[in-house]
Amino acid sequence: MPKELDALLTQTSEWLRGVGPSSEIVMSSRIRLARNLEHFPFATRATDTSRSDVLRLVQEGVRHASSLRNPLSLELGSLDEVSRQFLVERHLISREHASSPEHRGVVIGPGEVISVMINEEDHLRVQVMQSGLSLREAWALIDALDDELSEALPFAYSSDWGYLTCCLTNAGTGLRASVMVHLPALVITKQINKVLHAITKLGLTARGLYGEGTEALGNFFQMSNQVSLGRGEEEIVENIERIMKQVIGHEQTAREGLTTSNRLQLEDRIWRAYGVLRHAQTITSNETLDLLSAVRLGVDVGIMTHVNRPTINDLLILSQPAHLQKLDGSKLSAQERDSKRAGLIRQRLNATEHDS
């Protein structure tokens, strides 16, 4: 791993801090803006030369933004596959961004609150992530950054269509607001499909832990607006926040029902999950997410008091394949990762028990 990434491995990402409004259900809030530069072809028509020019221009423009304060700037083409996957697991770049690294980059601000993908689907994908249901706070941060960047970079804009983007669904404001939620009780009580169907009718879409094209492992869902054209930024933010409060209410009601009417079965599910995590000698990534989901539910409803939410959140990301390999300092086979993952989890949970 390049030395510049060492600090990321040892720090807690903003979205994993486990604080903020409704943080027992909402992992994180994210606001993302799609922007393109005037006089440069969009990604579907870009040449290597134009992509290289965009990369240099954006790197220079971002460097002077006071909102970022000495950011970490990386060119994906100089990183190996594991390092790029490491950034995906930290939600700093997309899977698509990592898959074709040439003439692509990312700029990362302190605490991983702000990141800017360069030459993804659009020339810039600017994002701000906050812990808990904090969409308004994220919007305030990214709005200020967008103002700074617009002074340094010539964004493609139409008085009729707003900000011009590669995909029409992002045109207009170019804004996508998303909230990552943990909904185990709705899954257990088999109400999740009803909730997902309802939010779709209200103009939202649900994806998995790593966004578009991923499944909802560990009962984690990313919910976001589908269209930005014809709507103001604050309207989009207010709409998704209002809908998310309803989703949170449904999850809270389901949790209350489980802890009152089915407490014994719930406790059995949670303690069995903890037992496997505490003693397993080998464990897959998907199984880990499912088991950590159950333990996190136990922490959040007060059944499990000797483990805290930040510990579970850290394990959610440290147990991912690229993070395990970075911690080990070597490339590992799937079988080796399963063994290292189990050892890491045992070690962290054992330390938590001794501290409690």
User: CB count, 10 Å around CB of 138?
Assistant: 25
Percent of the chain beyond pLDDT 90?
A: 76
Mean pLDDT of 271-276: 98
CB-based burial label for 52 (10 Å; 0-12, 13-18, 19+): middle
Please, what is the end-to-end C-alpha distance for the chain in angstroms? Answer: 34
Query: At 253, is the pLDDT very low, low, confident or very high (cuts 50, 70, 90)?
Result: very high
Query: At 168, is the pLDDT very low, low, confident or very high (cuts 50, 70, 90)?
Result: confident
Retrieve residue 13's tokens. 């990402």
Query: At 67, is the pLDDT very low, low, confident or very high (cuts 50, 70, 90)?
Result: confident
CATH number of 3-255: 3.30.590.10
pTM over 0.85: yes
Tell whether the model's pLDDT for residue 307 goes beyond 70.
Answer: yes
For the stretch 112-166, pLDDT in tens is 999 999 999 999 999 999 999 999 999 999 999 999 999 999 999 988 888 898 8
Domain ranges (residues) in the chain: 3-255, 262-355
CB-based burial label for 299 (10 Å; 0-12, 13-18, 19+): buried
Tell whether the model's pLDDT for residue 5 goes beyond 90.
Answer: no
For the stretch 149-188, what's the b/e string if a residue is b when 16 or more beta carbons lie within 10 angstroms of its beta carbon? beeebebbeeeeebbbbbeeebbbbbbbbbbbbbbbbbbb
Tell whether the model's pLDDT for residue 355 goes beyond 80.
Answer: no
Res 162: pLDDT: 87
CA distance linking residue 28 with residue 15, whole number of Å: 5
Give the mean pLDDT of the chain: 91
Res 195: pLDDT: 95
* Main-chain phi, psi angles of 308, to 5 degrees: -110, 165
Tell whether the model's pLDDT for residue 216 goes beyond 70.
Answer: no
